[in-house]
């Protein structure tokens, strides 16, 4: 397969000039072994040393793989074109040149158009680099999104823990006074709307100052922790609330619990704490203690406010301590004077 030099007819020469200016080499394929060169751009000759009889595929090695595809296309006898991929060759000066070939079918004639593709090659490289950088950025964004999701999840967990810490008593693990007052107010409103009773217990550890003075503050802390755990383990209904509202004072909110049931629960708590063995790091002997309890139940549709109820139940607790401690006192209201305190139960359950 040798290259036949360009036609010198004026019409063809003018067309060849046009293609040369456009950086195209135009080769008409007249047979499998005959190629007619019609246009030579400036990059064409420096590819190899001048040799008019040089085999076409020696000058363009890439055509060895593209020509079979081109002949299959030409056999269809349909006007159109197919394009090769980019390829790179080195000219006689050692410079790399990027080329692109087209197999063209036009009016039963077959052409190979080969052009310098430096612009397209650089553009493709730019786009490939852009695509690569974009892929890296997308992966980075994905990693950042995952990190953000993990951080958000961790923050949610931390916020939950912080919220728990903000509403819990750090020593005993039960709720603190702030959460007690907030929740009790909500439950008072809810039970009023639903027509349910609601009971509240105030509980005070008897002779707690003496316990601290005798066994030390660490023993006092252990006493409060043990009582807090007992209350949480015993009162497990949804809605039951146990809180430490003072130094040695606890409160229990019992939504839906009426007076007699509240009294039984208070007496059970009194008995359980009396039987509670509290470890003492300063001695081999366990510590025993007792508690005094005040109880009040607001009946369905009762109109006492939270401050009034707290005053009533605090009065019941005071009465339990004043009458000898280790007792349960239940306060009730009369229809004529709903804020009047009446002691209806004072004593132990053995």
| Residues involved in catalysis | 248
Q: What end-to-end distance do the CA atoms of the chain give, in Å?
A: 119
Half-sphere CA count of 215, side-chain side, radius 13 A: 23
Ranges assigned E (strand) in the chain: 2-4, 24-31, 34-39, 80-83, 87-90, 96-106, 109-116, 198-205, 241-244, 249-255, 291-298, 328-332, 342-347
Token code pair at residue 48: 């190899």
| 76 Cβ contact list (under 8 Å, min separation 6) | 105
DSSP 6: P
3-state secondary structure 34-49: EEEEEECCCCCHHHCC
User: CA 291 to CA 175: how far, in whole Å?
Assistant: 19
The DSSP line for 258-294 is -HHHHHHHHHHHHHHHHT--B--TT-SSPB---EEEE
Closest by Cα among 182, 202, 191, 201 to 303: 191
């Amino acid at each position: 397969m040798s290259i036949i030099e360009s036609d010198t007819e004026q019409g063809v020469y003018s067309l060849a000039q046009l293609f040369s200016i456009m950086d195209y080499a135009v080769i008409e394929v007249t047979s499998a072994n005959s190629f007619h060169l019609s246009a030579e751009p400036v990059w064409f000759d420096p590819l190899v040393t001048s040799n008019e009889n040089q085999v076409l595929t020696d000058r363009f090695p890439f055509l060895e793989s593209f020509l079979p595809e081109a002949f299959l296309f030409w056999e269809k006898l349909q006007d159109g074109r197919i394009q090769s991929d980019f390829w790179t060759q080195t000219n006689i000066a050692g410079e790399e040149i990027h080329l692109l070939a087209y197999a063209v079918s036009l009016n039963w004639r077959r052409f190979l158009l080969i052009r310098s593709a430096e612009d397209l090659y650089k553009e493709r490289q730019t786009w490939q680099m852009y695509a690569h950088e974009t892929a890296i950025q997308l992966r980075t964004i994905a990693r950042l999104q995952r990190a953000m999701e993990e951080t958000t999840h961790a923050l949610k967990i931390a916020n939950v823990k912080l919220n728990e810490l903000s509403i819990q008593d750090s020593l005993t693990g039960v709720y603190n006074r702030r959460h007690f007052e907030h929740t009790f107010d909500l439950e008072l409103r809810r039970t009023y709307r639903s027509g349910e009773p609601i009971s509240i217990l105030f509980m005070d550890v008897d002779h707690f100052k003496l316990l601290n003075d005798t066994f030390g503050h660490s023993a006092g802390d252990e006493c409060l922790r043990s009582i807090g755990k007992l209350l949480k383990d015993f009162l497990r209904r949804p809605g039951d609330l146990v809180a430490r509202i003072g130094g040695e004072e606890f409160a229990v909110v019992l939504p839906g619990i009426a007076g007699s049931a509240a009294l039984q629960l208070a007496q059970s708590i009194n008995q359980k704490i009396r039987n509670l063995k509290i470890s003492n790091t300063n001695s081999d002997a366990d510590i025993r203690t007792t508690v005094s309890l005040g109880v009040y139940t607001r009946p369905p549709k009762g109109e006492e406010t939270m401050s009034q109820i707290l005053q009533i139940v605090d009065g019941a607790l005071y009465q339990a301590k004043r009458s000898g401690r280790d007792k349960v006192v239940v306060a009730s209201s009369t229809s004529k004077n709903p804020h009047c305190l009446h002691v209806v139960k004072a004593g132990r359950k053995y």
